[in-house]
Amino acid sequence: MSLNPPIFLKQSEENNSKFVETKQSQTTSIASEDPLKNLNLASQEVLQKAQQSGRSKCLKCGGSRMFYCYTCYVPVENVPIEQIPLVKLPLKIDIIKHPNETDGKSTAIHAKLLAPEFVNIYTYPCIPEYEEKDHEVALVFPGPQSISIKDISFHLQKRIQNNVRGKNDDPDKPSFKRKRAEEREFCDLNDSKCKGATLKKIVFIDSTWNQTNKIITDERLQGLLQVELKTRKTCFWRHQKGKPDTFLSTIEAIYYFLVDYHTDILKEKYRGQYDNLLFFYSFMYQLIKNAKCSGDKETGKLIH
């Protein structure tokens, strides 16, 4: 007696389908348990050794710190700087830090440590002047006027065009000359300026979400293009109650912005170029996760 081929094939397909679904479910479960697992990171052995030996001295201010000094933005004595990865970024980053933000809890410092040539941190009310460069600077912050990363170039081009219109809108210049000048400028825009309209600097606010209003309403930031990261979810261990999981820590926001910028704007395949921005963050995440599982409260105290 032979098996009916169609029935056999159908059962085989169902079994394969269930197997695939089970593997996908397991993969999703693992990813949700450890969202930072597949990062392309430098060896964290130096952090493991530092964690075991405990706090160390900052070579600049002499303060006792864990891993790095959050005041001087340098690794501590038992974390040799040559063993800390350096990350090259495609643009400059400004971080506006709220004066009441606790230095020891801020993840913004990670960016300064790992990409020192590309990152500057300012403490509010100190904010750089962006007004003359609003066509090449954007602010990452959620809001009703915020756009997605993939639309940045389009909106920067519009700002360049608006600036050209403003320059040519001279009431003392004859209308036909204004028109000729505008046509000439728009020709240039189409040939070079518009196509070359690129983001050169991105601004982040480092603050608890309840404290951001004072900074985001500052008139010096009002004219900047606002960008929102709508699809990323935080795994920060100090998640603020009542806030959605799309509200990221500062280093998460920087990292995810750069990943999306790399693929959506630069149109290049992402191969982990910015993963080391999470060098400290991922280590602390795993350390705290393990401490919670074992009920070890001392680990949290050591980190801070």
Identify whether the C-beta of residue 100 lies closer than 8 Å to the C-beta of residue 165.
Answer: no
Tell the CATH topology of 85-161+197-292: Alpha/beta knot (3.40.1280)
Res. 88 pLDDT band, cuts 50 70 90: very high
DSSP 117: T
Give mean pLDDT, residues 181-194.
43
Res. 162 pLDDT band, cuts 50 70 90: confident
The answer to whether residue 139 scores a pLDDT higher than 60 is yes
Domain ranges for the chain = 39-82, 85-161+197-292
The confidence score (pLDDT) of residue 39 equals 94
The confidence score (pLDDT) of residue 46 equals 97
The answer to whether residue 264 scores a pLDDT higher than 60 is yes
Strands (E), the chain: 56-57, 64-65, 68-69, 74-75, 92-97, 119-123, 137-140, 201-206, 225-227
The answer to whether residue 268 scores a pLDDT higher than 50 is yes
> How confident is the model over 101-138, as pLDDT tens digits?
888 889 999 999 999 999 999 999 999 999 889 999 99
Identify whether the C-beta of residue 131 lies closer than 8 Å to the C-beta of residue 223.
Answer: yes
> How confident is the model over 90-99, as pLDDT tens digits?
999 999 999 9
Give mean pLDDT, residues 1-27.
45
The answer to whether residue 203 scores a pLDDT higher than 70 is yes
Query: From the centroid of its chain, how far is CA 56?
Result: 29
Beta strands 56-57; 64-65: pairing state:
antiparallel
CA distance 287 to 206: 23
Average pLDDT in the chain: 80
The confidence score (pLDDT) of residue 165 equals 65
Range in 2-16, 42-56, 58-72 the model is least confident about: 2-16
Range in 32-36, 84-88, 239-243 the model is least confident about: 239-243
Give mean pLDDT, residues 248-274.
95
Give mean pLDDT, residues 50-57.
95
